[in-house]
Amino acid sequence: MKNSYLIIFISTIFSLSSVMSQEMEDPSILSNFSDGPYVFISNNRLIEKKILNGEVTSRVLEPTRYDTIFTPQKSRYENVENIAALSDIHGQYDLAVEILKNNGIIDRNLDWNFGKGHLVIVGDVFDRGPKINEMLWLLYKLEIQAKETGGRLHFLLGNHEYMVLHKDLRYVHDRYTISSKLLGLEYDELYSNQTIIGRWLRSKSTIIKINNSIFVHGGISEEFISKNGIDLSDTNQIMRSSIQRSKQEMKSTDFYKTYYGKKSLIWYRGYFYDNLADADISKILTQVNSEHIVVGHCSNEKVVQLYDYKIFGVDSSIKKGTYGELLFIKNNQFYRGTLNGKQVKF
């Protein structure tokens, strides 16, 4: 039986490789293929590469066009009146834009429209869908615009961000296989530390607290707290530093199991699947000095609440490309922001 599965797996890999080779050789496909920009840092120069109709273009940008050093944001924020959160966009750029526009986060020109509010992207922009790069550049722009108006955009890294940054490319959309081949780079190299977006990503946090709510992609397990405690700033720095470490090195100790295992901040699914008691959740919240935890990672048809409003799940299955929502928090009141912009109070 195992040999049968192995044969099927190998056959599937060869079939996919064959399809990709055909696409690369088919001029009708490449003539309509565009992607980018990807901005690389080389010898103190900024080099922008784009793919337009199957052809790679390259130009040198002014050195002041983009920052090349990114300072991590704080891990805690207080007295924020308006908060919005969504997660697991997974390359569904068009749907995410529709949700953000209809709920007043951005305007029709895709510029920041949320004033002094804070928007939290609770992980997993990467993988599965076809418009990762477009979403990343939009968030990059909105982060700058939000800060200029007294607001903030927080892009928290989820398990799929860490997967790509550690060269685990199992869920990359076929579009980016083509882009990588045309650019002559592996997909993860398009977001290496020698790129603008790559450096920006490496400055991001994994967990933050705004007012009395913690935001993290997977969740906080009792096992994680018992091993590490939960100093937010220290945890974020540990996770940022881990990006440059190899899996082999991390797996040589308990580090990988703790920070990348099933009970870790980026992979935990226990709030939805472990049948925890209300007392278990209350204990975790007491230990992290919070009243609510907002997570992504586990897909639902809409934004949901669990354990008497202690846990909120904001993965509303945007990755399917048909529907999605966001969570609004206003003066400690919680609302679903639906696709058409209607706000429904919990």
pLDDT of residue 228: 84
**What's the CATH architecture for 76-345?**
4-Layer Sandwich (3.60)
Nearest to 118 by CA among 267, 311, 326, 279: 326
At residue 189 the predicted structure's pLDDT band, cuts being 50, 70 and 90, is very high
- In angstroms, the Cα distances linking 345 to 103, 141, 306, 329 are 14, 30, 15, 10
Residue 44, Ramachandran bin (φ over 0: left; ψ between -120 and 50: alpha; else beta) = left
Nearest to 120 by CA among 305, 327, 345: 327
pLDDT at 153 over 50: yes
Contact 242, 250 (CB under 8 A): yes
**Helix (H/G/I), strand (E/B), else coil: 83:** strand
State mean pLDDT over 331-337.
Answer: 96
Contacts of 124 (CB under 8 A, 6+ apart): 87, 88, 89, 90, 158, 159, 160, 161, 217, 296, 297, 315
State mean pLDDT over 10-16.
Answer: 43
Q: What is the pLDDT of residues 65-97, one digit of tens each?
A: 999 999 999 999 999 999 999 999 999 999 999
Number of neighbours of residue 331 by Cβ within 10 angstroms: 7
Q: What is the pLDDT of residues 262-273, one digit of tens each?
A: 999 999 999 999
Q: What is the pLDDT of residues 48-71, one digit of tens each?
A: 999 999 999 999 999 999 999 999
pLDDT of residue 14: 42
pLDDT of residue 10: 39
State mean pLDDT over 199-224.
Answer: 98
pTM for this one? 0.93
Domains of the chain by residue range: 2-61, 76-345
Cα(72)–Cα(77) distance, rounded to whole angstroms?
Answer: 14
pLDDT at 225 over 90: yes
pLDDT at 19 over 50: no
Q: Residue 150 has which token pair?
A: 């007294």
Q: Where are the alpha helices (DSSP H) in 229-317?
A: 232-242, 247-251, 255-260, 270-273, 278-287
Cα(196)–Cα(39) distance, rounded to whole angstroms?
Answer: 6
Cα(149)–Cα(140) distance, rounded to whole angstroms?
Answer: 15
Q: What is the pLDDT of residues 245-288, one digit of tens each?
A: 999 999 999 999 999 999 999 999 999 999 999 999 999 999 99
Contact 86, 122 (CB under 8 A): yes
Nearest to 154 by CA among 271, 94, 242, 72: 72
State mean pLDDT over 199-228.
Answer: 97
At residue 137 the predicted structure's pLDDT band, cuts being 50, 70 and 90, is very high
pLDDT at 13 over 60: no
**Helix (H/G/I), strand (E/B), else coil: 274:** coil
pLDDT of residue 230: 87
Q: Residue 289 has which token pair?
A: 């000095």
pLDDT at 157 over 60: yes
Contacts of 64 (CB under 8 A, 6+ apart): none
Nearest to 144 by CA among 227, 91, 67, 74: 67
Cα(105)–Cα(142) distance, rounded to whole angstroms?
Answer: 10
Nearest to 325 by CA among 55, 103, 69, 74: 103
pLDDT at 217 over 60: yes
